[in-house]
Amino acid sequence: MQSGLGKTDKWILEYETKDPIKNPLMGWESSLDTYTEIRLEFSSKELAINYAKKLKINYEIIEPKKRKTVKKSYADNFLN
């Protein structure tokens, strides 16, 4: 299994659901609020912050976690 780094350089602005409704049959969560369908991507954190400030949107920044990589050889899988 591989965990790639594709699309990890984008900053995303998403709206929170104000009135979630849970479907009793399937258990899915939905909302009548159409803002929850909006997902904007920005190339930098500063652009995302400036956009939110310009439109007076309350925002929360969630910094990406630093990935810990372990370099090993394919042959290491068979040496134990």
Per-residue pLDDT tens over the stretch 24-43: 888 888 888 888 888 999 99
pTM metric for this prediction: 0.64
In order of 6, 7, 39, 47, 78, the CA distances from 10 in angstroms are: 10, 6, 12, 11, 37
pLDDT score, position 23: 82
pLDDT tens by residue, 37-73: 889 999 999 999 999 999 999 999 998 888 888 888 8
**Token pair 């372990």 is at which residue?**
70
Q: What is the mean pLDDT of residues 19-25?
A: 83
Q: How is the chain split into domains, by residue range?
A: 11-78
pLDDT score, position 2: 64
Distance in angstroms (rounded) separating the CA atoms of residues 64 and 42: 15
